[in-house]
């Protein structure tokens, strides 16, 4: 069975049909996706800017990161769950969209960034650290995170067009 | 009537034509709008979370608000530029659309709240960490900005 056939099968499931054809499910899921981006995307961004010493300069890096971590996870789950359901509603459209394919690759890179760079770079921060983070790895991870994140928004929005 | 004229004028501006003539300009502007949404509402949400005692509890409210202010302002700038640009390209999607009207009402109230009540509670600090006024302002702020998002998302469905 090819992946396309699998996508076509998903569209025949009752959950997929319900989201696609119900008047409210799709807009509500889309709204949750947006709220997740708005409430928690800002924390990803400000966390990265703090590492670079650009935003929230007066708070120690370790404090900002540890305080945001829980909420970033909440946001991640909200965005992933709503996004997953939106995909479940229209997998064939997504399959054919170049923008969606790029988005999935970016999403994998976010995971790589989190596992490889961040874990190593952020773990070494001592408590009470002020100013920008000096570790090159951490700064690189922060830049990558911001770039990937903005690119995810662009490719996500692009699914409707390309 | 005045509003209808405004929307018609907006749709006839050279900028509107340029956006409509391009295949990729509208998606790009829309994407910048959503990125700006995270900058604007995300930074406000961080302050609101602090006011509710949910994040950065060890930092004074006023310090966080002051540190984030330039980013919130940048966010407002991005939103109030890209929003009208999108509207100019498709004024008929805004005019008479209940979702758009809801969004604009929430936006107006959110901005007024932000520059009055919100600013007031983030201007000073209290030893106890959170205050009833602060928590109320935070709830109001989160509610109104979320209303802006819901209305915005719903524009496409009416």
pLDDT in tens, A96-148: 899 999 999 999 998 888 887 666 656 555 544 777 777 777 888 889 999 99
> Could you give the angle at which helices A136-158 and A25-51 cross, rounded to 10 degrees?
160
| Number of cross-chain residue pairs from A and B with Cβ atoms under 8 Å apart | 105
Residues in B lying within 8 Å of A, measured between beta carbons: 24, 26-28, 30-31, 34-35, 37-46, 49, 54-59, 63-64, 67-68, 71, 142, 145-146, 149-150, 152-154, 156-157
Q: Looking at residue B72, what is its pLDDT?
A: 94
Contact residues on chain A for B46, CB-CB shorter than 8 A: 42-43, 46
Q: Looking at residue B35, what is its pLDDT?
A: 93
Tell me whether residues A39 and B157 touch, CB distance under 8 A. no
Share of chain A above pLDDT 70, in %: 92
Closest residue in chain A to residue B64, using alpha carbons only: A56
Tell me whether residues B31 and A153 touch, CB distance under 8 A. yes
- Tell me how far CA of residue A21 lies from CA of A5, A17, A46, in angstroms: 21, 6, 38
DSSP A20-39: HHSTTHHHHHHHHHHHHHHH
Q: Which two tokens stand for residue A79?
A: 């965005």
Q: Which residue numbers in chain B have pLDDT < 70?
A: 1, 127-128
Which candidate, B115, B114, B137, B125, places its Cα nearest to that of B52?
A: B137
Closest residue in chain B to residue A61, using alpha carbons only: B56
Q: Looking at residue B59, what is its pLDDT?
A: 86
Contact residues on chain B for A71, CB-CB shorter than 8 A: 49, 54-55
Residues in A lying within 8 Å of B, measured between beta carbons: 26-27, 30-31, 34-35, 37-43, 45-46, 49, 55-59, 63-64, 67-68, 71, 150, 153-154, 156-158, 160-162
Mean pLDDT of A22-41: 88
Measured in whole angstroms, how far is the alpha carbon of residue B122 from the centre of its chain? 18
Backbone φ and ψ of B23, nearest 5°:
-80, -30
Q: Looking at residue A119, what is its pLDDT?
A: 66
- Counting Cα atoms < 13 Å in the Cβ hemisphere of A142 gives 24
Whole-prediction pTM: 0.88
Q: Looking at residue B128, what is its pLDDT?
A: 63
Backbone φ and ψ of B22, nearest 5°:
-100, 145
At A50-92, the pLDDT tens digits run: 888 888 888 888 888 888 888 888 998 999 999 999 999 999 9
Residue A160 scores a pLDDT above 90: no
Write the CB contacts of A25 (distance below 8 Å, at least 6 apart in sequence): A18, A19, A89
């Amino acid at each position: 069975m090819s992946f396309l056939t699998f996508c076509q099968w998903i569209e025949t499931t009752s959950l997929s049909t319900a989201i696609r054809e119900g008047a409210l499910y799709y807009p509500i899921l889309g709204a949750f996706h947006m709220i997740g981006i708005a409430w928690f995307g800002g924390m990803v961004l400000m966390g990265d800017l703090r590492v670079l010493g650009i935003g929230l300069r007066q708070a120690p890096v370790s404090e900002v990161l540890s305080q945001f971590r829980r909420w970033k996870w909440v946001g991640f789950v909200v965005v992933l769950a709503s996004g997953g359901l939106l995909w479940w509603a229209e997998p064939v459209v997504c399959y054919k969209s170049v923008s969606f394919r790029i988005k999935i690759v970016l999403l994998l890179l976010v995971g790589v960034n989190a596992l490889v760079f961040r874990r190593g770079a952020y773990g070494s921060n001592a408590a009470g650290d002020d100013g920008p983070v000096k570790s090159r790895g951490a700064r690189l991870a922060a830049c990558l995170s911001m770039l990937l994140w903005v690119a995810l928004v662009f490719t996500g929005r692009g699914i409707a067009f390309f | 009537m005045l509003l209808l004229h405004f929307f018609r004028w907006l749709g006839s501006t050279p900028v509107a034509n340029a956006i409509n003539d391009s295949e990729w300009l509208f998606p790009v502007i829309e994407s910048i709008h959503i990125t700006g949404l995270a900058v604007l509402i995300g930074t406000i949400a961080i302050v609101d979370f602090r006011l509710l005692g949910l994040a950065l509890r060890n930092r004074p409210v006023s310090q966080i608000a002051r540190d984030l202010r330039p980013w919130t302002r940048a966010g407002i700038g991005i939103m109030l530029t890209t929003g009208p640009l999108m509207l100019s390209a498709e004024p008929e999607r805004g005019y008479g659309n209940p979702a758009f009207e809801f969004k604009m009402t929430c936006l107006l109230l959110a901005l007024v709240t932000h520059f009055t009540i919100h600013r007031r509670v983030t201007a000073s600090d209290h030893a106890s960490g959170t205050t009833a006024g602060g928590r109320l302002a935070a709830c109001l702020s989160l509610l109104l900005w979320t209303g802006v998002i819901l209305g915005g998302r719903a524009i496409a469905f009416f």
